């Protein structure tokens, strides 16, 4: 019995129980902590990987921004392919030289992403690869080719909506991760179109002193309809076109050369989905408007606005002092040199022969005119504008050049460049003509005009002696032309029998007002002045004359960015 009672006491004792429970809790806690550590440790790796991938993605975007910056600063940047000056260490072709094998990530030249304002390294890098265009057969061209950038880099497939664009891919590297983004660039600039205008009506100067201000859109300029421009049967626009205005059409003019040419009618302030941007002109002898769109007609609702800058004075800060002239200046281009005549007064002249082209590629002529310009005589006077900031230019050029004027540019002879058998430029040289006011074609009167501005062939009264003007023969202009505040125009365009053909412009023309004031037309017939033979220079899709002015908020821009598999 004593032994039995002892055993009961032992079993009823609680000594050591707390320790057992404690050990059990510690075991369970250890297991939970271990599981938590394993789970968190995995998440840490996932978070680090995700952070590195995001860093790589943003490094890739930095590569695109790098290229976009250089392209904005220099519109010819694509023209250099992978060899710009100064060099960009991140630029690469897509394939290995001489093969169709894409470069591997380890074979790419890279640049580091700056981490702060002092340019310290972030440890992140990016590589830019230029993606060659697709050929007509769907195959890619081998690489970006400086001798043929348009064909090797600019997409031509209109049906896919990429015509006129080029692509590059940027790969970012960070902490062992890499991400690749493909960017599609599109150009919206004055040189992107063979014809650009803000208002499709004649310049205010056509109405004389005290006349109406015509810088209003179609339907909002009731006092400025006499010189409204409209496109007629038999005319054609040989290239892409953009106007901010509504377009008047008679009959069936042709717009564009093929489906790659964008034909953009802005339609003023009316951008509704149902708007076409054009209509028939009242009293049109050719019947209702039935335009033929060989190009892609872009409705106003999808047209991006392109507006000119307030002036060309920014070029005055680019030009070297030796190439900044004052008052009337005459320039005769002679290949890679020129003859320059400065007019210091009505009688004083200073001529320099064999002047080399400027290092910056820009010539600027300053000076204002006290007398406002009118295309109708007695002004313009080609002998009494010595105090004006006008530049007269003609000749042949073989190097890139931009000639700008604070007042007018007067084309007083053919402006040519070496061409091939098809009449297309055979070098990379481009000429820009930028006037703050007018770009004019020399077209003088041999006598005086009637005071009431009636027909040149019939004097306004027996006291007037109006005679036909002396025309320039076979006018040829190879240039990109911009009239910032006014328009491209032919002096005395309402005078003279048009027996010497059309004005041939190979390049692009842009003006605040319509560029159509070259002659007087009756149906398909040119009664006076000149008709047009205007053809777009496809080189302007990827290049432009030196320091050519850009529109406000429009130039090369990234149309699309797409995440792609890394190389």
pLDDT (tens digit per residue) in 457-471: 433 333 333 444 556
Per-residue model confidence as pLDDT tens digits over 383-441: 888 888 999 999 999 999 999 999 999 999 999 999 999 999 999 999 999 999 999 99
319 located within any domain: yes
Residue 422 lies inside a defined structural domain of this protein: yes
Take residue 526 and report the two structure tokens written for it.
């040119």
**170-208 residue pLDDT tens:** 999 999 999 999 999 988 889 999 999 999 999 999 998
d(CA 439, CA 483): 6
Is position 45 within any domain?
no
* Residue 87 included in any domain: yes
What percent of the chain is modeled with pLDDT above 90?
Answer: 52
Provide the pLDDT for residue 376.
Answer: 82
Q: In terms of domains, do 293 and 440 share one?
A: no
Residue-wise pLDDT tens digits, 507-549: 999 999 999 998 887 766 777 888 888 999 999 988 899 999 9
Q: Are residues 95 and 221 in the same domain?
A: no
**In-domain check, residue 346:** yes
Q: Are residues 129 and 277 in the same domain?
A: no
Pair (335, 302) in one structural domain: no
Say whether both 117 and 79 belong to one domain. yes
Residue 11 falls inside a structural domain: no
**Is the domain of 324 the same as that of 292?**
no
Q: What average pLDDT does the structure give for the chain?
A: 85
Domain boundary among 274, 306, 338: 306
Task: State the residue range of the domain holding 344.
Answer: 308-550
131 and 220 together in one domain: no
Q: Which two tokens stand for residue 75?
A: 């519109």
Mean pLDDT of 99-103: 90
Q: Is the pLDDT of residue 285 over 60?
A: yes
Q: How is 305-331 classified by DSSP, letter by letter? A: P-B--S-SGGGGGTS-GGGEEESSEEE
Together in a domain, 282 and 346: no
Are the C-beta atoms of residues 97 and 565 closer than 8 Å to each other? no
Last residue of one domain, picked from the residues 306, 338, 358: 306
Q: What pLDDT was estimated at residue 142?
A: 80
Please say which residue of 306, 334, 354 terminates a domain. Answer: 306
Q: Establish if 7 belongs to a structural domain.
A: no
Whole-number pLDDT of residue 179? 96
Instruction: For 241-262, write each residue's pLDDT tens digit.
Output: 999 999 999 889 999 999 889 9
Tell me the β-bridge partners of 252. Answer: none
**pTM of the shown model:** 0.78
In order of 264, 289, 292, 305, the CA distances from 271 in angstroms are 12, 20, 22, 11
Domain check: are 259 and 324 in the same one? no
Quote the distance between the C-alpha of residue 314 and its chain's center: 17
Specify the number of domains making up the chain: 3
CA atoms within 13 A on the CB side of 345: 2
Structure tokens at 398: 């073989």
Tokens of 49: 């990987």
In this structure, the answer to whether residues 219 and 253 fall within a common structural domain is yes
200 shares a domain with 158: no
Residues 483 and 560 in one domain: no
Q: What is the DSSP letter of 557?
A: E
The H or E element containing residue 195 is strand 195-199
Domain assignment present for 99: yes
């Amino acid at each position: 019995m004593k032994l039995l009672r002892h055993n009961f006491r032992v079993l009823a004792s609680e000594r050591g129980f707390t320790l057992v429970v404690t050990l059990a809790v510690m075991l369970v806690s250890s297991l939970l902590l271990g599981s938590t550590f394993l789970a968190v440790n995995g998440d840490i790796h996932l978070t680090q990987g995700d952070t590195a991938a995001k860093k790589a993605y943003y490094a890739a975007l930095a590569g695109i921004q790098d290229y976009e910056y250089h392209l904005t600063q220099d519109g010819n940047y694509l023209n250099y392919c992978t060899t710009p000056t100064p060099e960009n260490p991140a630029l690469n072709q897509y394939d290995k030289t001489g093969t169709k094998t894409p470069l591997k990530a380890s074979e790419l030249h890279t640049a580091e992403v700056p981490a702060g304002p002092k340019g310290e390294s972030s440890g992140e890098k990016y590589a830019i690869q230029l993606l060659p265009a697709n050929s007509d057969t769907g195959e890619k061209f081998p690489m970006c080719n400086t001798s043929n950038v348009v064909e090797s880099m600019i997409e031509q497939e209109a049906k896919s909506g990429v015509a006129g664009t080029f692509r590059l891919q940027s790969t970012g590297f960070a902490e062992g991760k890499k991400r690749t983004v493909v960017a599609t660039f599109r150009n919206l600039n004055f040189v992107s179109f063979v014809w650009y205008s803000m208002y499709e009506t004649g310049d205010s100067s056509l109405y004389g002193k005290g006349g109406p201000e015509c810088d209003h859109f179609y339907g909002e300029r009731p006092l400025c309809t006499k010189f409204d421009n409209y496109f007629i049967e038999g005319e054609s626009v040989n290239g892409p076109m953009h106007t901010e205005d509504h377009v008047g059409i008679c009959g069936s003019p042709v717009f564009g050369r093929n489906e790659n040419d964008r034909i953009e009618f802005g339609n003023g302030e009316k951008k509704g989905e149902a708007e076409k941007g054009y209509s028939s002109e009242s009293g049109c002898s050719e019947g209702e408007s039935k335009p033929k769109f060989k190009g892609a007609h872009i409705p106003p609702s999808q047209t991006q606005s392109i507006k000119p800058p307030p002036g060309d004075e920014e070029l005055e800060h680019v030009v070297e002092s030796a190439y900044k002239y004052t008052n009337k200046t005459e320039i005769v281009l002679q290949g890679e040199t020129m003859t320059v005549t400065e007019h210091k007064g009505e009688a004083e002249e200073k001529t320099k022969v064999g002047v080399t082209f400027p290092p910056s590629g820009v010539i600027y002529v300053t000076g204002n005119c006290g007398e406002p310009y009118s295309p109708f005589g007695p002004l313009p006077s080609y002998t009494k504008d010595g105090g004006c900031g006008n530049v007269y230019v003609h000749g042949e050029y073989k190097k890139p050049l931009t000639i700008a004027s604070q007042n007018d540019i007067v084309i007083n002879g053919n402006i040519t460049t070496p061409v091939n058998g098809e009449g297309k430029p055979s070098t990379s040289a481009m000429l820009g003509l930028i006037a703050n006011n007018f770009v004019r074609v020399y077209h003088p009167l041999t006598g005086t005009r009637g005071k009431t501005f009636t027909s040149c062939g019939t004097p306004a009264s027996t006291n007037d002696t109006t005679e036909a003007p002396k025309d320039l023969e076979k006018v040829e202009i190879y240039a990109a032309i911009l009239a910032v505040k006014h328009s491209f125009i032919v002096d005395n365009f309402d005078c003279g029998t048009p027996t010497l053909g059309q004005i041939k412009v190979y390049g692009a023309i842009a003006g605040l007002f319509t560029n159509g004031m070259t002659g007087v037309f009756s149906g398909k017939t040119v009664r006076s002045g000149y008709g047009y033979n205007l053809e777009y220079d496809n080189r302007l899709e990827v290049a432009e004359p030196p320091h050519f002015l850009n529109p406000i908020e429009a130039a090369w821009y990234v149309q699309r960015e797409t995440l792609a598999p890394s190389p």
